[in-house]
Chain A
């Protein structure tokens, strides 16, 4: 009897220590308030499709240092806003053979409020497109301009501007109906081990979030902050660039930004954060 009790106590203690580490680590009391006015939720109830693998979903903001979190709370201090401002210049500047600017069709950038929250999205031809694909479609089909590279200055500026219009709106990607097959493949990829280190997305962001991977504090891998200003790059980083970095870190051969695989993964990863607000241009380490 004594032995049994002791065993149970040990098991309970282990459980407490493990969950304790995972749960205490993201800054528990931090609140994301932009400019003292706009309150962005950084925690939400997990979406049903996760089946309880995460107790609560957390924005990556909660896992960063005090200094990095503070940068995002003030639009003047947030270096990502420089990109959004330049995006606004581009928005009103005609480009391409048709002599049209974004504003000629769309009016003010505010007209695209909500767009970022539902990306990636199945287009009218049944293909899954990211925001970048929609931007380039406008450029090549309507404006007669050259497509922007995924990591080009133009694309960074424009996606920063468009995302900012959805700041505060909950991520609301469609995962059923015509999106279902893409979502299933994205989910498959999320749980597939890559590279010499044989790591899947889930190994870090589902099994070990809240712990350190060497010097980095593992978040839940939520995508609501993207495109994000990464201090490490001193630039805007798209979600696909981040995916590439993650796969590279597994010592794997990565897909290029914009690949079908990454768009499907983007859909699945976004769906894990259903309910968290778009952070516009977030700031990360």
Chain B
């Protein structure tokens, strides 16, 4: 698992006021910092430590992730959508990198 890649799944359509299921997954090693390599050196911790999602400018989820969370963290949650807007997903890596994915969503 070398490269980091976010994946998002949203329903095809929704009506105003619907609760939609959002599935997210990011490919990531989630190295705990507790393992040692072949020569006995500690492999430094590198995990996704925070994940957020905004919909139409409003935060819908903001969570901290811990080292015990397995590789390729999968997060699923529900969002009540009142109108069309952009979903903005953000993952924060221990190494300082920030991965962002944006998807427009139509509410008909």
Contact = CB atoms under 8 A, between A and B. Distances in A.
A76 B9 contact: yes
Chain B interface size, under 10 / 10 to 19 / 20 to 34 / 35 or more: 10 to 19
Interface stretch (A78-86, A118-126, A143-151, A253-261): A78-86
Nearest to A81: B7
A85 B7 CA distance: 11
A234 to B, nearest CB: 6
A77 B25 CA distance: 9
Chain A interface size, under 10 / 10 to 19 / 20 to 34 / 35 or more: under 10
B23 interface: yes
B3 A234 contact: no
Interface in B1-55: 1-3, 5, 7, 9, 23, 25, 27
A191 B102 CA distance: 55
Contact of A79 (B2, B9, B72): B72
A178 interface: no
B86 to A, nearest CB: 20
Contact of A82 (B9, B23, B70, B72): B72
B72 A76 contact: no
A234 B70 contact: yes
Interface in B49-101: 70-72, 74
Secondary structure of the A contact surface, majority rule: helix
A86 B3 contact: yes
Contacts of B7: 76, 82
A153 B2 contact: yes
A225 to B, nearest CB: 20
Nearest to B26: A82
Given A82-B72, A234-B70, A234-B71, A76 B5 contact: no
A67 to B, nearest CB: 13
Instruction: Report which residue of A77, A82, A86, A234 has the largest number of chain B beta carbons within 10 angstroms of its beta carbon.
Output: A82
23 contacts: A76-B7, A76-B9, A76-B23, A76-B25, A77-B23, A77-B74, A79-B72, A82-B1, A82-B5, A82-B7, A82-B25, A82-B27, A82-B72, A85-B5, A86-B3, A86-B5, A86-B27, A89-B3, A153-B1, A153-B2, A234-B70, A234-B71, A234-B72
Interface of B: 1-3, 5, 7, 9, 23, 25, 27, 70-72, 74
Instruction: List the 8 closest A-B pairs by CB distance, nearest first.
Output: A76-B9, A82-B27, A76-B23, A234-B71, A79-B72, A82-B72, A234-B70, A76-B7
